Structure 1
Amino acid sequence: MKYITSCLLFLLLFNAATAQTKADSISRIFPKVIITNNKQEILLAFDSNRKAYELPSIGFLEGPISLREYMSRAAKEIGVTYKSFRLGGMFTYIFPNNNRTFVRPYFIMQMEAYSNGQSFSDSSYKWFSLPDAVKAIPYPASAQILQKVMTQPAYVWAAAFEEYGYTNPVDREKIKFRVLEDFYKLNEIQ
């Protein structure tokens, strides 16, 4: 009996010592899509909760889905067909207050046409020139990423950011932002 009690006590202590903490949690993958048209304009989506423009996304990469399928779903939900897409960069967003990390691949998609042949059926989408898109996005990391990947497209970029303090609607003054790892090239296309 003493042996069984000792074993149970050991297992309880071992389990507590090896239990997964919030800091050990899996990083979620949350792609963003930079959609360009033949005028080299950038498509932004208006978030009615945050009252702000942002690069489109259809959310986390979840379930059994390939990147190609994710991009096809994104294009379909947005209302476009596309010629091609490529990786613009892989970025790490760290949220220190809740021990979360998001990995955000930013893809650049060249639009081919509107799905319905005319325009967007959703009025929350709007085309911007690159300088105007960068100004319209209130999230510092996203604005900097857009600027970098579109002005230096020969490279696939990476960086790490700490960004939090989002409000509804967005108040730029309340967003806490810090560059943890400045932009660096993941490859060099020659």
Structure 2
Amino acid sequence: MRFLISFLLLLPLFNDAAAQTKADSISPIFPKVVIINNKQEVLLAFDNNRKAYELPSIGFIEGPISIREYMNRTATEIGITYKSFRLAGMFTYIYPNRYRTFIRPYFVMQMEAYANAQGFSDSSYKWFSPVDAVKAIPYPASAQILQKIIAQPGYVWAATFEEYGYTNPVDPTKIKFSVLEEFYKLNEMP
């Protein structure tokens, strides 16, 4: 009887269904790319589900892939070639009521040319002046990040946000947003 009681008390410790898995502990990495052309315009992509403009991304970094390969795939998918790219910031998005945190690196990519030498084959891409790009993005964190990156491009930035409540199409009045950690510089030595 003691063995049975001990076994039942220790069983939850070995139960995979109740235990946190390694996958639960991984923070997904979802990069965004600020693509700039030779006119210093910013490229935005129109999301047909949300009916809103946003900075381009090809999604989560999944599987064995380097940052350079991710950037190459991004450029290829969009239909451009690029001169260079650099890290512009590392941002944390925390989602309340979920055991979830997204790590969102932002990169700045200097476009070299259109891959087909003519333009975009996908009409969802559009160039904006930096000021108009910030205004066109309805997501507060993305708009603030872009504004910071454009205003002070010599730094690598970080901040932490809570942003949720997205709808299809996007309704900016329904987005819940707060800054949990203000912007700070990652590459400035004290």
Query: Shorter-normalised TM-score: what interval?
Result: over 0.9
Is the CA contact (8 Å cut-off) linking 1:134 and 1:144 kept in structure 2?
yes
Residue 65 of structure 1 corresponds to: 65
Q: What is the CA distance between 1:6 and its match in structure 2? A: 5.0
Q: Distance in 1 between matches of 2:64 and 2:118?
A: 33
Q: What is the CA distance between 1:3 and its match in structure 2? A: 6.6
Give the alignment of 1:137-152 within 5 angstroms: 137-152=137-152
Residue 75 of structure 1 corresponds to: 75
Is the CA contact (8 Å cut-off) linking 1:154 and 1:188 kept in structure 2?
no
Give the AA of the match of 1:9: L
Give the AA of the match of 1:41: E
Q: Distance in 2 between matches of 1:76 and 1:186?
A: 29
Q: What is the CA distance between 1:14 and its match in structure 2? A: 2.4
Residue 172 of structure 2 corresponds to: 172
When structure 1 is superposed on structure 2, of 5-14 and 42-51 the one drifting more is 5-14
CA offset digits 1:166-188 (Å, max 9, x no partner): 00000010000000000000003
What stretches of structure 1 of length at least 5 have no aligned partner?
Answer: none
Q: What is the CA distance between 1:11 and its match in structure 2? A: 3.2
> Is 1:90 the counterpart of 2:96 in the alignment?
no
3-state SS of paired residue (2:13): helix
Residue 42 of structure 1 corresponds to: 42
Q: What is the CA distance between 1:150 and its match in structure 2? A: 1.3
Q: Distance in 1 between matches of 2:89 and 2:8?
A: 49
Q: Distance in 1 between matches of 2:12 and 2:44?
A: 52
Is the CA contact (8 Å cut-off) linking 1:33 and 1:57 kept in structure 2?
yes
Cα RMSD after superposing both structures: 2.0
Give the AA of the match of 1:122: D
When structure 1 is superposed on structure 2, of 27-36 and 97-106 the one drifting more is 97-106
Residue 116 of structure 2 corresponds to: 116
3-state SS of paired residue (1:50): coil
Give the AA of the match of 2:153: P
CA offset digits 1:15-52 (Å, max 9, x no partner): 3697218xx63210000000000011000000000000
Percent of residue pairs bearing the same amino acid type: 75
Give the AA of the match of 1:85: F
3-state SS of paired residue (2:90): strand
Q: Give the alignment's TM-score, normalised by structure 1.
A: 0.92
Give the AA of the match of 1:68: R
Equivalenced residue count is 187
